[in-house]
A and B are shown apart, each in its own frame.
Chain A
Amino acid sequence: MQKWRCIICNYIYDPAVGDPDSGMGPGTPFESLPDDWVCPLCGAGKDEFERVEE
């Protein structure tokens, strides 16, 4: 699944892991995260993320 990187702090959102602290279980694609979801490390919004090219 497509990973996304926070351009502010370099946190990688891995859909396989999700963001359980925010209630986003494993398997949640980045696109399905709610619009008000923020980077769990630095608090940046979804629009501060870019695709990780593998």
Chain B
Amino acid sequence: MAPVTLVPDVYWVGAKDPGLTVFDIVIPTKYGTTYNSYLVRGTDRTALIDCVKRPFAEELFRNISEILPLTKIDYVVINHSEPDHSGALAELLSRHPGVTVLLSRSAKTFVDNLVNAGFRYRIVNDNEEVALGGKTLRFINAPFLHWPDTILTYLVEDEILFPCDFLGAHYSSPEFFNDELAEPEKARKAFEFYYGAIMRPYKEHVLKACERLKELPLSMIAPSHGPILRKDPRSYLSRYEERASVLSRIKDKKVAIVYASAYGNTAAMAEKVAEGVRAGGLIPVLLNSVEVPMDKIIDELEESAGFLIGTPTLNSNIPYPILQMIASLVVLNVKGKPASVFGSYGWSGEAIKTVQDILTSMRIKVTPEPIRVRMTPSEADLKSCVDFGKQFAEIVQGA
């Protein structure tokens, strides 16, 4: 793939990976992805913005060499040090040790551990500028979009924002710009999916960045994955803002009750817990994890003021639908959200305690104390489920 010109002296020099089916172990990428890397050439100096994943290093170097020799690069900006943008850095440094890496303080810590060797670097602060001669790079601190290390780079003269993963999409196509896509609706889907899978846990930070970028003149957004956003760049920011402000639109105080039940016992408990939540003044949302699609469950968990997990025990362990739901919490920030656990079991009932321990390790305070019932819940057990739900609703309202 040959370099592509964004504006004079600004080039895409990255790599495309259309065949990729899963990114980061857990994110399905049905449209593949791209690792976008950009070269900005000033009259005095040249900067490379982000690298590519290691297996694509040769492609990056070949693209750069079509514009200038690799050793003529003065700076490499590492907006974010995840290996899909920094994987090629170690190889680049070994071929061109004279290059200076521009990065945040936290990225420096990560890159140290990525390349395991010394390198020339400069830690850039918020709003700091680096002049290349007729082209100026300005750095914007944007921690947690989506790592603590993240900075966004802004090319002042051309009004181009290089936000790395922020506003990206796992979408590979023969076209480069959003106004020339053959299948724009698929690219839109990929953009939406990307937000949900990657940026969603960092809503507050997304909103902060949207606010901050409001006044910035933008001719183009050039992210590290997917199409370059040349047409209506601001509409993509607005869409992030809309999605990240989801909680401000939720009026009802809901409690999500996610459960699985093999013989209806945990389900019966869930019904009674819901009754208690309602008596406590909140709206219970019962979600059978075997029937309700996981993305719907995650939406409900995001919108809920607290959540309860009802789990049976299967061979001393947590059944898969519950485990899957816990693993899916990775796309939400649930730290500090009230939660607790309940369940019926046959022999030993370890799953309730195991779920409790996992939630605790996620910095969730599990309260009230989980309840366990052996086999069919008795009238007294069902009554304690109602009390448990009611008590939980009170805790949520006190939180």
Contacts and interface: CB of A to CB of B under 8 A. Distances in A.
A21 B363 contact: yes
- Overall SS of chain B's interface: loop
Interface residues of B, number: 9
B336 A10 contact: no
Interface string B135-147: 0000000011000
- Overall SS of chain A's interface: loop
A10 B143 contact: yes
Interface of B: 105-106, 109, 143-144, 148-149, 336, 363
Interface string A10-30: 100000000001100000000
A52 interface: no
Given A10-B148, A21-B336, A42-B148, 11 more contacts: A7-B105, A8-B109, A8-B149, A9-B106, A9-B143, A9-B148, A22-B363, A40-B363, A41-B144, A41-B148, A48-B109
A7 B106 contact: yes
Given A21-B336, A41-B148, A42-B148, A10 B105 contact: yes
Contact of A7 (B109, B143, B144, B336): B109
B336 A8 contact: no
Contacts of B149: 8
A21 B106 CA distance: 24
A48 B109 CA distance: 9
Nearest to A39: B148
A8 B113 CA distance: 13
